[in-house]
A and B are shown apart, each in its own frame.
Chain A
Amino acid sequence: MKNVPKTLHNLADQYEKTMSKMNLVKSNNKAIQNLMEQVSNLEGEMKFVKQEMTSLRGDLLSSQERIEQTIRTQEEIIMDMINKFNEELLQHKSSMKEDIEILKTQQDVLKISYTINEKKFMDKVNSSISRIINKQVEGKENEILMKIWMSEFKEIIRDFEKLKKFRPKEFSVRLNEISDIIDIFKQKILS
């Protein structure tokens, strides 16, 4: 099949030659007869070429079809994958939503328990101070108070280092909290 174009070329060449020969041998009958033979030969060859071309086209078509098929299957595979992916994504999304919901409720709980804890803490400070006093550890009340204060004070100092990063509003809230804690101790210790 590869040499078809070459054959075609040759054919054209030969046709040219033949035509010139035909001119030459117009007067010569024998030559005409020869020529006729050659022409019929040529026709035969042309037929072959035609056949070759048809089969070539067939080949082409079938290979094209094959390629198309491949593309189609690949497309399908990709679509499958995409669909699957989408499905997973959806699943993920919903599970993420759930997670976020859970986190949100946890946060709410935390917030609430934080405020409760804060109040509890204050109550604890109050009650532990009065408890300690009530226990009447003879002559030791002051030292114990000092100790409680010291650990609280360390906490305050630690908090203080963070104050600079706060915005004015948060800052004053924190500062108020700190001074509230100090006031509690002040009341307890100065009373």
Chain B
Amino acid sequence: MLVSEINIKLTILGQWGVGKTSMVNTFVGKDFPSMYIPTIGSNIARKEYRLKDNHIRLNIWDIGGQRSFNPLNPVFFSNLDSALLLFDLNNPKESLQEIIDTYLKNLSKHSPECIMYLVGNKSDLLKPEDSEILLNIIRKYQIQGFPIVFVSAKTQDNITELFTLVIFDFLKKLEESGNKTQFQGISKDFLNSVGKSEEDLNDLIINIDEIDSNTLHKKITPKIIKKNIKLTEKEYIPLKEIKDLKQIRAFDIDKNKIKENIFSAFKNNLVAISELILELKKTPINSLIDNIDKTLDDLSNLNKDFELKLDSILELEKSDKNN
């Protein structure tokens, strides 16, 4: 039997500073960033799972949330299988509003079929006495119909579980939609391969209408202790929005780190492009024209992303000269 390749396109969206990059980094095994470095354009990360009959590749698109120098690019929203809508549990009002104002609209326009999740990050910062207020704020925003999950990129709490849930749901959908017997039982196979059960995943999801602050805290705190991660008692430093890359000096941000990140994202984009072409090579003739169009769309949009990255480097250099 032929091993089938399953590609999943997942986008992570949310206001600047909510922890998108931190979350992806901890998930793929990179270090949790010690300081805030805004993402420019997009950065694509990958995670692969080899099952007996199937090869699953999760393509994670981490999108920069600083709107003033990150124009929204259709490639962030199109042909998506899943999307994580991230908000900051430490700053829920603004970050939830941003999801409603910016991301939900674009998602329903470009990828109405994709599976979405509402993800509250920085659960490590959540104090028990604030949980009731937090729950009420989330209820008030009424972003309904999506599973809600709380995670912490810093303590890695629920991170692997969340991504496992994303893949599991996608595979379930694949099993149900396809008449291909090929995919029968694939979601179970996948769970077995990562050593998780369906109960583990169900445990993740917070029923916002019923949960009380006590249950919520039981849901998140024990895991942090279990992982035995030392939490520094340092006061949380509020992040600042950057309105102009040229003014980066005014922020406590390492410019060279930004450049480094841009270049590494650039490499990742390059890999993504060569994979798009590879995919196209494997396309059967009858769906070739459609796929060429789709690939062309992706390529043009990635091109815009390249331009943005290059422009940003130039902007950063200008800020070098000005100071």
Contact surface of A with B, Cβ cutoff 8 Å: 142-143, 146-147, 149-150, 153-154, 156-157, 160-161, 163-164, 168, 171-172, 175-176, 178-179, 182-183, 185-186, 189-190
**What is the CB-to-nearest-CB distance from A170 to chain B, in angstroms, rounded to a whole number?**
13
User: What's the Cα separation between A183 and B281 when bound, in Å?
Assistant: 14
- Whether, in the assembled complex, B142 has its beta carbon less than 8 Å from a beta carbon of chain A, the answer is no
> What are 16 contact pairs spanning A and B, CB under 8 A?
A143-B313, A149-B306, A153-B273, A156-B299, A157-B299, A160-B295, A160-B296, A164-B289, A176-B281, A178-B277, A182-B273, A183-B274, A185-B270, A186-B274, A189-B266, A189-B267
**For the complex, is B278 an interface residue (Cβ under 8 Å from A)?**
yes
Shortest distance between the CB of A78 and any CB in chain B (Å):
59
Q: Which chain B residues lie closer than 8 Å to A156 at the CB level?
A: 299
Whether B306 contacts A186 by the Cβ 8 Å rule is no
Q: With the chains together, A54 CA to B246 CA distance in Å?
A: 119
* B225 on the A face (CB < 8 A): no
* A187 CB, nearest partner CB in chain B, Å: 10
Q: What chain A residues lie within 8 Å of B289 (beta carbons)?
A: 164
Q: A163-B292, A164-B292, A190-B267 are in contact. Are A175 and B306 (CB under 8 A)?
A: no
Q: For chain B, which range describes its interface: under 10, 10 to 19, 20 to 34, or 35 or more residues?
A: 20 to 34
B271-302 contacts to A, CB under 8 A, are 271, 273-274, 277-278, 280-281, 285, 288-289, 292, 295-296, 299-300
Counting from the closest, the 6 A-B pairs by CB-CB distance are A142-B263, A179-B277, A182-B274, A160-B296, A157-B299, A146-B310
Task: Name the one of B263, B280, B285, B300 contacting A157, with C-beta atoms under 8 angstroms.
Answer: B300
Binding site for A on B (CB under 8 A): 259, 263, 266-267, 270-271, 273-274, 277-278, 280-281, 285, 288-289, 292, 295-296, 299-300, 303, 306-307, 309-310, 313
Residues of chain B within 8 A of A176, CB atoms compared:
281
How close is B302's CB to chain A, nearest CB, in angstroms?
Answer: 8
**In the complex, what distance in Å separates the CA atom of A183 from the CA atom of B277?**
11
Contacting residues, chain A, for B292 (C-beta < 8 A): 160, 163-164
Residue pair A179, B274 in contact (C-beta under 8 Å): yes
CB distance from A27 to the nearest CB of B (A): 121
A164 proximity list for chain B (CB < 8 A): 289, 292
Residue pair B310, A150 in contact (C-beta under 8 Å): yes
Q: When the two chains form their complex, are residues B271 and A186 in contact, meaning their CB atoms are under 8 A apart?
A: yes
B306 near A146 with CB under 8 A, answer yes
Return B86 CB to nearest CB of chain A, in Å.
28
Q: Which residue of A lies closest to B310 (CB)?
A: A146
Report how far A168 CA is from B299 CA in the complex, Å. 21
Q: Are B303 and A154 in contact (CB under 8 A)?
A: yes
Give the distance to chain B from A158, nearest Cβ to Cβ, in Å.
Answer: 10
Residue of B nearest to A179 (CB): B277
Complex Cα distance A156/B277, Å?
A: 11
- Residue of A at shortest CB range from B271? A186
Rounded to whole angstroms, the CA-CA distance of A163 and B299 in the bound complex is 14
CB contacts (< 8 Å) of A186 on chain B: these are: 270-271, 274
Pick the contact of B310: A143, A172, A183, A189 (CB < 8 A).
A143
Give the residue name and chain of the B residue nearest to A188 (CB): B270
| Known A149-B270, A160-B295: A175·B277 in contact at CB below 8 Å | yes
The answer to whether A175 and B303 have CB atoms under 8 Å apart is: no
Indicate if the CB atoms of B281 and A147 lie closer than 8 Å. Answer: no
Residues of B within 8 A of A163 (CB): 292
Closest to B309 in A: A146
If A147-B310, A154-B303 are given as contacts, then 14 extra A-B residue pairs at C-beta distance below 8 Å, sorted by A number, are A142-B259, A146-B309, A146-B310, A149-B270, A149-B306, A150-B307, A150-B310, A153-B299, A153-B306, A160-B296, A163-B292, A182-B274, A186-B274, A190-B270
